[in-house]
């Protein structure tokens, strides 16, 4: 991953749709927002997408189909506690990607999904602890 792409991950708001409307934004190296702490509890969680594999612009229809497949794969994992809609938004406003915030899955479950959907990285954490960027090695 080049420095520009790494910087883009760090300069992104990872927004999670709240049940009563609005959004809570996760930021790398910052604690989980209070609006998400109750839902996360002490569980592992991840913020992941299937959009734009290998960080290459992909037609909307393909992105939507991949995102549906990711959602179904997450639902099929018994440890999944909750799945909330999300949106990764560049703070520069140059791009946004629909995403999913999933509670109950750690890196052992999320790594294979990220690799399968061609993602260079995703954001994850444990309970209310600071969010971390998990970088993938895609060969």
Task: Determine the Cα angle at 70 with ends 79 and 21, to 5°.
Answer: 80
Average pLDDT of span 98-116 = 97
Say what the pTM is.
0.94
Average pLDDT of span 74-90 = 96
pLDDT digits (tens, 9 = 90+) for 37-52: 999 999 999 999 999 9
Average pLDDT of span 57-84 = 97
Question: Which H or E run contains 35?
Answer: helix 34-40
- 72 φ/ψ angles, rounded to the nearest 5 degrees: -65, -40
- 30 φ/ψ angles, rounded to the nearest 5 degrees: -120, 150
Rounded distance, CA 22 to CA 25, Å? 10
Which of 48, 59, 22, 56 has the alpha carbon at shortest distance from 116? 48
Q: What is the three-class DSSP state of 36?
A: helix
Higher per-residue pLDDT: 52 or 94: 52
Q: What's the pLDDT score for residue 6?
A: 81
Residue 126 pLDDT exceeds 90: yes
Can you say whether residue 127 is alpha, beta or left, with left for phi > 0 and alpha for psi between -120 and 50 degrees?
Answer: left
Average pLDDT of span 30-35 = 95
Q: What's the pLDDT score for residue 35?
A: 95
């Amino acid at each position: 991953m080049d420095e520009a792409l790494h910087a883009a991950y760090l300069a992104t708001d990872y927004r999670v749709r709240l049940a009563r409307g609005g959004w809570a934004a996760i930021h790398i190296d910052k604690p989980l927002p209070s609006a998400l702490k109750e839902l996360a509890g002490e569980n592992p969680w991840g913020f992941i997408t299937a959009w734009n594999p290998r960080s290459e612009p992909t037609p909307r229809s393909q992105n939507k189909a991949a995102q549906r497949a990711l959602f179904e794969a997450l639902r099929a994992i018994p440890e999944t506690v909750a799945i909330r809609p999300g949106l990764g938004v560049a703070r520069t406003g140059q791009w946004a990607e629909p995403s999913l915030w999933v509670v109950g899955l750690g890196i052992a479950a999320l790594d294979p999904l990220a690799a399968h959907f061609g993602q260079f990285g995703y954001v994850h954490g444990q309970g209310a602890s600071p969010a971390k960027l998990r970088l993938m090695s895609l060969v």
